[in-house]
Structure 1
Amino acid sequence: MSGTLTNDDKLGNCILQVQEDLRQLKCTIESVNERGTTLDIQALDTAIGKTERSIRVRMLPHTLAKCLLSNSAHPNNRAIMHQQFGISLPDVHKRRTNTVLPVQVPVNISKYDFTILMGRTNPMATDFCHFKQSFSLCWSSVVDVLEALEKLLRDFAVPLAKVSGERLVELSHVWENGWLKAPPVTGFLSVLENWEEVLGLVLRPGQRFKGEGGIEAAAIHIQCFWRRYLARTAYLRHCQRKWAVGTIAVSWLMHTQMRHVGKALQARRFRQLENFRSRAQHLAANWKHIQSSKRTIIHIPSLGYSQSRRMNLRRYDILQNIQISRLCDIRGDPECPRHLGEDILHYYTSLLNCDSSVRRFIILTPEAIDYFPTHNMCLSTLLKYSPRTLKRIKHLIQGKQAYIVGGVAHVDDLAVADDLGVPILAPEPAIAQLYSTKSGGRRIFTEAEVDLPPGQGDIYTLNQLHGTLARLMTQNIHVQRWLFKMDSEHGGRGTAYCDTCHLNLSPTHFQQIPNVCTLTLFLQESVLLRYLDEVPEWLARYAQPAKTSCYPNWTCFLKTFLRQGGVVEAYPPSESVTCLTVDLLLEPGGEVTMLSCGDQLQGSCQLEAIGSTVPQTSVQQETLKSICMRVGQACLQRLIVGYVSVDLTTFLNRKTMEQKVWAIDLDLTYSDQLAMTQMLLMMTGGTLNCRTGCLEVPMPIQEKCSQKQPPVVNRYAVIGSHLFHSNLSMLYHNVFFMVCKAHGIGFNMKRKQGTVFALYDGSDRCTVGMITVSEDLRGALVTFARNLSVIHQEISPSKMQGETNFKELIKNIEDVLQMTVKNKVRSLEDKPVA
């Protein structure tokens, strides 16, 4: 085998020598030509070319055997030979009997490996010289790849690289034929035997900067990154500024549009307010004529509370439906915030037909209720966004005297009235919101010069609360309970209380002192200092909301109390306290009329009324009329007209045994009691004589009776407008009335007594109203309590009692009955014997 290699080397050297001689011959001839000697250069050049081609053809089989077949006859080599030399070689991978190779392939072929140290090839190394001689025919293309590989190794400071000559030649052919213009690093490393070591070195961070030109490469790299950082920073700053400019532009456009819309709305509301005032003047000037002529009343029982309060109220739509019994006092069109259903419409139609006078009523529901089912909008707002309903109302009131009776005032009342072109029997929304608060009511009562509980309004800070309460407690040492009322809440929702018995310096220490005025100035100052020190902890430990379902503890209550503002008031210092409600009509002409009066019935919360007894029997009628007239005139002086309800509380002074009456609340709205009273008057056909304090009911004359009965008799009624039982939802209204009829619960039209119900909702059915009428107050109370007990037993299985206020109301009625018996016995004992 070594002999074969030696012969091959000699043959190769011979061929190289022949080529060198021919080249020198050609150079000699050209030099002779330059000296002027005449030679046939073309013929000689042709001869030299033929000689080179002959030598190349003769040496081709030997070279092919070394260059190609030694590499396992790769298929790409056949294509290379065809392109380089125009020779088609057989496919040695196909074993065919009729194909023979033209050369003998040695058994073992050398790989022609050589070594590159520090990125440079040693041209005198034996392995490299052997490789160079073996691939001399294609050396021009191999040199380019080799130089690129050396440069790569120098750039990355590779100390040692073992090159596979065959793979280097293959890569050179690929590169030369344009298959890959610029091989990647992995392409160069594929020709190395130790490519894994070299690849690990090349991929090492910072290795490029250790090789040839590393300092310049590092500088370029740093400059590249720095310039990229500067460019990116500038770009991001530009994007940020561009975004800011866009945001500012959009914000400015939105601000401009909102300002334009705000000005338009402000101008529109100002125009609506001016129209409201103009129509209010016309209503006041023609009130007597309007009252005495045929008219249309548009009842809109809207609860225009603030948005936060509306969203926190349970069954807000049903609360607005509670005053559906207003239809018993109208000859016009009421608005309802909830679809009633055919059963309720049929019920009220039948109810109104019981009256001998013809009453025409139309119940309309705004179509906007279907578009805003979860927004808890007040009825005026829903009507504002209901053009079809407004159009129908316009058609119904066309050419008639008409005015609106609303509920809790809202700014959208003006929009509805302006669209319909009718006046509102109510004060301006701003005035109503100012004086319908607890603090505003105290200002009205103070101007009216009526008695009111010791207290202070317009409290907004904790220090103000503590200081005011300590001062009031010092001035009223006999008060045993203090109340805290939120300005914007009504009933027991926004009320809390705290008893003074938990104080270290309680009123029991001053039992021997008949009046606080007897305290010396020094003693008053010392008591005030004691209270200032003790009140904060006393409130934090013992104050509690009246309805824990709304505010679970004092902390939650206090947070809302200070945000809305509120009042501190004394609770009557007596064991027997009665509250009553009086409904007034402040006519635009300046008259004050009492429409209804009733003693309140409380449920579980003693500060929340869920019913009343009509007429009231706790205050002398002259005293009641005097208080109401003064409050009404004070309201009229502040341009408050329409329906107003006044809450009073009465108790006996334990020292003088005189009756005291305090004004405790003022609501500038059509009350639930008044709505139920209108239903009571319609069913009985009677009138509530507020001058005498009697419910006068005309009785039909019986022709068969020898003695004529008096045409008018007195009746007493118990009204419950907020009766709630969760199990009522299981019964449809027709089934409910069948149950009531089976137990004898109904109304006798001939005797003008019995029970009548007010239905509010056809789907929920959990809340109802009830009125019981009897010949005396005790009978009405007993009937009311019996009805509640029967209904509760019928709809409440033993394992499902449900959520209800029936039980508390029954207990309250029992207490009232016991108190009535005690008062009757006391009056008999005080009566002188003839």
Structure 2
Amino acid sequence: MADIPKHEDTFEDVLVQVEHDLSQLKYNVGKINVDEKGATLDIKVLDNAISRTQSSIRRHADDYLKSVNKQQLVLPAIEDLPKQTLKIYKWKPSLEGLPDVYSQKKTLDALFHETKVKPEAVESLAVTKAKGKRVQYLPEDELQPVIKPSLLRMSIQHNIMTLQPRPELHWSKKELDFKPEKKSKCQMDSQTRPRRKVGESKHLFTSLPSLPSQITVSDRMDQMEIQATTSFVTEETEDQSEDAQTSTFTIVNGKIDPMAKDFICFKGRFSWCWSSVVEVLEDLTKLLREFAVPLAKVDGDNFIQLCPSSDYGYSKTLSKATLFSLLQNKGDVLELVSRPGQRYRGEGGRDAAATRIQACWRRYFNRTSYLCYHHRKNAAEVISMSWLLHYQRCQVKKDLQAKRFRQLENYRNRAEHLAENWKHIRSSKRTIIHIPSLGFSQSWRQNTRKYDILQNIQITRLCDIRDENVEVIYICPVHLGEDILRYYDNFLSRNGADSSTSQDLLCNKRFLILTPEAVDHFPTRNMCLSTLLKYSPSTLKQIKRQIQGKWAYIVGGVGHEDDLDVADELDVPILGPEPAVSQLHGTKSGGRRIFSEAGLEVPPGQGDVYALNQLYETLAELITQNIHIQRWLFKINVQRRGRDTAFCDVCHLRCYSWALQRYQYFGPDLYHSKWVQEFVMQKYLEEIPEWLIYYTQLAKCSRFQSWSEFMKFFLRQGGVVEAYPPSENVTHMTVDMLLEPSGEVTLLSWGDQLHGYCHLDIVGAIIPKTSVHLEILHSICMHVAHVCQQKCIMGYVSVGLATFVDHSTMKQKIWGIDLEIGFSDQLAMTQMLLMATGGTLNWHTGCFEVPMPVKEKCSEQEAAAKHLVDSRYAVVGIHLFHSNLSMLYHSMFFKMCKYNYIEFNKKENEGTVFALYDSSERSTIGMIAVSEDLQGALVTFAQNLSVIHQEILSSKKEEETNFKVVITNIEDMLEMIIQNKNQLMD
């Protein structure tokens, strides 16, 4: 065995001397009064001390390492082992509690990125126990990390800076310093204990300067040993090993006891980053004092993750949640802190409470002021916007009124010009713009089904071209298919009229069918045709090109304000009254007033009913005064053709039989006295509301499904209550006449009405009329036309009359029941009848005359020279409906009719002619049956309906049709005609 070198170690003395120099330096620094004026701190003194310390440590460390490397270790003798009384402890550091040098290396690499360590500058690392006079060295080949002298110097400077007093803390400088002359208990005990060999002592947490990022480790075990060696130093005895491994200390009432063992151990563990720890502790203690936390235990292990991994030195402060996470008893602390008002029990609580109260008050005051301001601002905005909208609305209203007034003035000027030149226009070539518009109110239009088809029923206006001087531009409310266009083209061509159904701008034919482009933009709005044409600039331009340089005027339907707009745009007159006049006198109530002024007898009734109480009182009074009337009708002002009418029979009134007894008891003269009728009227008034609800029937249920719906619309639009003629045989007839602008009156069509479901549902007419004498009819029409002209009504007017035999006098009575202003459906179908037969309606004879068929012995020229004519009768069906018709295309329908010999014979002027209305649904058609006598026309019409019904009848589908009802009514009429003939023969 080699001899053990016996020389005295002076390395520990050097370390003691260094510590003494540092203490002396600290004492000198402490004597400097920074507050004194002119006092300065000499940095050179610090620099000299650090340099001297560095050189001395380097020199002695090199000598010591050389001596240790040459020293041979001698194992103790075997016989000496039992004599040893000192227990040898093996050094087994806990690898789980070791700090991660690799993560610290990255952090220090960022902190000391300017310092680079070269591999050749390797120096030995000494871990010493200063107070125990025992030094432990590591072998040089196992010490892979290299510490540069400049880095060691920076570490010593950093430790010196941590010893300087911090004015922000609440403890003094002396309380935070480790003074060399004062020894802790663990240090004093360590001097009385025997020395231990390398690896036998326990390790206490002491931090040396961290290694640069360029340091490399050979393998995983070497790295773990180096980390354990460089991070831990044996400093305490066996009984204090547990305190060395723990880093928890207590904060009482927000203050730290610097002399407490736990805090001293904690400070020794974090001395390498004490500046960051102090800043964290400052914030933590301040937070605990603010919330008056009596006891808080700080978990030092969290500082390992918090301090090295966060750039706390560069941030202002940590969040409260982060600070509370450093506590072991954070659950109790958070429970205490979360108590209401706990913040105001701690340090500065009164100021914080005052600040909070003032802030809340200022917030409430400012918030209230802002809400008041915001409310006033919103109110001002609403008022200003309302006023602006009101002003704009008034301005637009004024502009519209001015525009309407201008259009009305233009209409009147053009009407005067039309009246002055009417005779010249009638005798010269002219263009008629037919617009079959139904300008009803919006509510009425929205509640009407198939409104476009109803407007297109008058497509037979095309037959006005039978006058050689007339060209027709027909505005169609629906898109017609090629089948319908080809049908009317062939029909008009066969009857000697050139035609064109194409929309070519260069066509010069005598009629043109145009569909406004706005039909595609408003498919579900049920807008009247005039409005659609108003919003169709392309169609208006095309009409302008067609009428340029020609006499032209507009023939409309039911008047609407947009008629004036269209006429103003086209700069043509309207053959009709002003829209306001038409809407005033074209209603049921207006017709009653005109008939009364014309001296025509009207049914007992009352017009302009707009309230429910008014309806009850009026009805009770009428029933009382007209006790023989069995049925009362309720008509809406804006309805046409008798549709959408309700009726109720008085036989359902419980007091009606009692009223008849009163009438028979008092007699006709005394019964009409006021005191008798007042009592009867009171009885009626009590029963009428219930009577109307349970016994009122609707003539046609296409629009309204119940009495309540009908009554709601009746009171909104206004209506008429009038009596139905008190007879079983009542004949209704319609007369169409033209009130020319020049003042003349021309009768254009007359015929008895053909009814459907009841006498109020008009589906067609029988031409010519047979129920009223011609002279009486002419007189009535002239009187009505004279009153209409006084009301500024011109154009086409239809008069509806009802004739029956009064059983009390056995004389014929004629009541005026309906007045319609505008081109009627009957007149449109009459034009088609005259076009198909080439005949005329002779006003003087009252007959429907057609040219006599040409025989073989008589040429056409001779027949024309002799004016040979023959009379015909025609049954015209305008609104014939069958749901199964939609299953057949028009081509198949005509083939079916031809197969069943349903066609028109042009030579004989007998047969059947159809009118088609639409290409999509195809469920509504018009039909005209012509024959030599009335009985033959009725039979032909009924047979045609029966054959068509049998051909399209389907057993799988339930049809909706009025064919059966019309056939039944025609059969009743035929029976009546046969009975009349038999009576005449007898």
TM-score normalised to structure 1 length: 0.88
CA positional deviation for 1:44 = 8.4
Instruction: Output one character per residue of 1:673-704: Cα deviation in whole Å (capped at 9) or x when no partner.
Output: 01101111121121112333321222133133
Q: Secondary structure at the match of 2:738?
A: strand
Query: Which of 930, 934, 956 matches 1:799?
Result: 956
* % identical equivalent positions: 56
CA distance in 2 between counterparts of 1:307 and 1:642 reads 24
Map of 1:73 onto structure 2: 99
Query: Which of 634, 645, 651 matches 1:495?
Result: 645
Q: Which amino acid in 2 is paired with 1:779?
A: G
Map of 1:412 onto structure 2: 562
Instruction: Output one character per residue of 1:591-648: Cα deviation in whole Å (capped at 9) or x when no partner.
Output: 2222111111221243120111111112222222222111111111111111101111
CA distance in 2 between counterparts of 1:565 and 1:135 reads 99
The reply to whether residue 127 of structure 1 matches residue 262 of structure 2 is: yes
Instruction: Output one character per residue of 1:22-56: Cα deviation in whole Å (capped at 9) or x when no partner.
Output: 655788999xxxxxxxxxx9998887656766899
CA distance in 1 between counterparts of 2:281 and 2:528 reads 89
- Say if 1:14 and 1:654 are closer, same or farther in 2 by CA, change over 3 A: farther
Pair member with larger Rg: 2
The reply to whether residue 781 of structure 1 matches residue 938 of structure 2 is: yes
- Say if 1:12 and 1:493 are closer, same or farther in 2 by CA, change over 3 A: farther
Q: Secondary structure at the match of 1:178?
A: helix
Map of 1:443 onto structure 2: 593
Map of 1:324 onto structure 2: 459
- Say if 1:190 and 1:503 are closer, same or farther in 2 by CA, change over 3 A: same
CA distance in 1 between counterparts of 2:216 and 2:315 reads 25
CA positional deviation for 1:124 = 5.1
CA positional deviation for 1:347 = 1.6
- Say if 1:43 and 1:306 are closer, same or farther in 2 by CA, change over 3 A: closer
- C-alpha contact (below 8 Å) 1:175/1:181 kept by paired residues: no
CA positional deviation for 1:21 = 5.2
CA distance in 1 between counterparts of 2:791 and 2:769 reads 28
- Match runs of 1:645-794 below 5 Å: 645-704=798-857, 711-794=868-951
- C-alpha contact (below 8 Å) 2:644/2:701 kept by paired residues: no
Query: Which of 374, 384, 389 matches 2:534?
Result: 384
Q: Secondary structure at the match of 1:525?
A: helix
Moved more, 227-236 or 494-503: 227-236
Map of 1:477 onto structure 2: 627
CA positional deviation for 1:762 = 2.4
Query: Which of 416, 428, 433 matches 2:578?
Result: 428
The reply to whether residue 296 of structure 1 matches residue 431 of structure 2 is: yes
- Say if 1:53 and 1:579 are closer, same or farther in 2 by CA, change over 3 A: same
- Match runs of 1:134-153 below 5 Å: 141-153=276-288
- C-alpha contact (below 8 Å) 1:438/1:665 kept by paired residues: yes
Query: Which of 350, 360, 363 matches 1:228?
Result: 363
Instruction: Output one character per residue of 1:365-409: Cα deviation in whole Å (capped at 9) or x when no partner.
Output: 233333333332222222223333333333333333332211111
The reply to whether residue 607 of structure 1 matches residue 768 of structure 2 is: no
- C-alpha contact (below 8 Å) 1:475/1:516 kept by paired residues: no
TM-score normalised to structure 2 length: 0.75
- C-alpha contact (below 8 Å) 1:69/1:105 kept by paired residues: no
Gaps of 5+ in 2: 1-12, 34-41, 65-90, 113-153, 156-208, 235-240, 500-509
Q: Which amino acid in 2 is paired with 1:447?
A: E
CA distance in 2 between counterparts of 1:98 and 1:769 reads 109
The reply to whether residue 339 of structure 1 matches residue 474 of structure 2 is: no
CA distance in 2 between counterparts of 1:26 and 1:370 reads 99
Q: Secondary structure at the match of 1:326?
A: helix
Gaps of 5+ in 1: 1-9, 31-40, 830-834
Moved more, 734-743 or 303-312: 303-312
CA distance in 2 between counterparts of 1:698 and 1:456 reads 47
CA positional deviation for 1:342 = 2.6
Q: Which amino acid in 2 is paired with 1:351?
A: F
Higher relative contact order (CA 8 A, sep 6+): 1
Map of 2:160 onto structure 1: none
- Match runs of 1:449-598 below 5 Å: 449-506=599-656, 509-510=659-660, 513=664, 516-519=668-671, 520-598=673-751
CA positional deviation for 1:20 = 4.4
Q: Which amino acid in 1 is paired with 2:471?
A: G
Query: Which of 88, 101, 122 matches 2:211?
Result: 88
Map of 1:274 onto structure 2: 409
CA distance in 1 between counterparts of 2:825 and 2:691 reads 37
Map of 1:34 onto structure 2: none
Q: Which amino acid in 2 is paired with 1:340?
A: L
Instruction: Output one character per residue of 1:769-790: Cα deviation in whole Å (capped at 9) or x when no partner.
Output: 1000111112111111111111
CA distance in 1 between counterparts of 2:26 and 2:605 reads 129
- Say if 1:92 and 1:623 are closer, same or farther in 2 by CA, change over 3 A: same
CA positional deviation for 1:264 = 3.3
- Match runs of 1:171-182 below 5 Å: 171=306, 178=313, 180-182=315-317
Q: Secondary structure at the match of 1:491?
A: coil
- Total equivalences in the alignment: 806
Map of 1:832 onto structure 2: none
Q: Which amino acid in 1 is paired with 2:491?
A: L
CA positional deviation for 1:434 = 0.4
Map of 2:127 onto structure 1: none
Q: Which amino acid in 2 is paired with 1:614?
A: I
- C-alpha contact (below 8 Å) 1:496/1:546 kept by paired residues: yes
Map of 2:506 onto structure 1: none
Q: Which amino acid in 2 is paired with 1:753?
A: E
- For the aligned residue pairs, the C-alpha RMSD in angstroms reads 3.7
CA distance in 2 between counterparts of 1:543 and 1:25 reads 121
Map of 1:199 onto structure 2: 334
Moved more, 206-215 or 271-280: 206-215
CA distance in 2 between counterparts of 1:404 and 1:276 reads 11
Q: Which amino acid in 2 is paired with 1:315?
A: K
Q: Which amino acid in 2 is paired with 1:354?
A: R
Map of 1:213 onto structure 2: 348
- Match runs of 1:17-56 below 5 Å: 19-20=22-23, 23-24=26-27
CA positional deviation for 1:301 = 1.4
Q: Which amino acid in 2 is paired with 1:548?
A: C
CA distance in 1 between counterparts of 2:312 and 2:621 reads 106
- C-alpha contact (below 8 Å) 2:885/2:952 kept by paired residues: yes
